Structure 1
Amino acid sequence: MLSSGGVSVGDEDHVKGAIEALGELSLWRIAIKPGKPLAFGRIGETPFIGLPGNPGAVLVTFLMLARPYLLRMQGQATGLLPRRYPVLAGFSRDKRIAREEYLRVALSEKEGTLLAAPAHNQSSGVLSSALLAEGLLVVPPQTAVERGMKLEFIPFSELGM
């Protein structure tokens, strides 16, 4: 079973309580951005994945967590996790966050080198940046990004998009 929304801690987020009342919750909240609220558990014999409600967070958590799980449950044994490629940051950002971050990025080429830069607004409530992006740039926890820093890039083509 797969759902979206209602897994956080707001007054209208009832999924966590419902799953706990009907079954068991094995995982709630993960240390990634966007996508901290995520639920995983069972209702009887049926696995349950509760994705966040914000569209940018749904995109990241589905692609990085739910999709590999669903592929594995369908019998696929290899290629569950996407390949990651080194690219250079084409931007700087002093802000450090405690969670691993997945930025929706576009690539450009400068003097034969691929540079990744955030595509539009990175808010978890904004999905339009995914339309302008070519993939996800992974920023490790507590990392300030410096222009030219090598980071991992996951092309959307690796994710079946």
Structure 2
Amino acid sequence: MCVYMKGVVDRVSNNSCVLQVSEIIKTLNPESTITFMDMAWEGLTRGRVYIRVSWDTTQARQFVGLCTGQPGSSFLNTQLNRVVNKGKQNECVFGGNYNFNEYRVYGPCTGVGIVSFIKSRSEKSCKFCISTNGGYESFGAVIGQVESGLEVLKAAVQLNDITQVTVVDCGVVVPLLLS
């Protein structure tokens, strides 16, 4: 059984339980945390992408933080920015610029389901790459692997305009320890 913690919550219903993000983060396994992103386009949520992340790099910790909203910023309401090598062996999707929702191509990102943080001159960069087809070759730091939901990204890639795809919810999956 899992509890899904929303990245950013504007309001809470009467029958909800509110948990402090800082307390939840303490319960996560830094060797293997599962994050999620709900993707929507054309006004409908199309599915959830689960990404297993190991916190062994600064970029991985930043990615988890931006999924939870703990640092104040979040991937919530950001758009996917670009598809590289559409329909080819090294196809991948770029997203994650919460400040400007703009993109810059940094090089190929390949390997099915590999999640990378993209190298940037700015230490505040939060762009990520998720490969949807092919063998792995990345110019960014590998931070994780898509556990499930890759079909959601593959459907998004088929759109004429990938920037229509929005992250409408994101967070981490918190395992419940029942005693």
TM-score interval for Structure 1 and Structure 2 normalised by the shorter chain: 0.3 to 0.5
Scaled by the length of structure 1, the TM-score of the pair is: 0.32
> Which one has a bigger Cα radius of gyration?
1
Instruction: For CA contacts below 8 A with separation 6 or more, give which structure has more relative contact order.
Output: 2
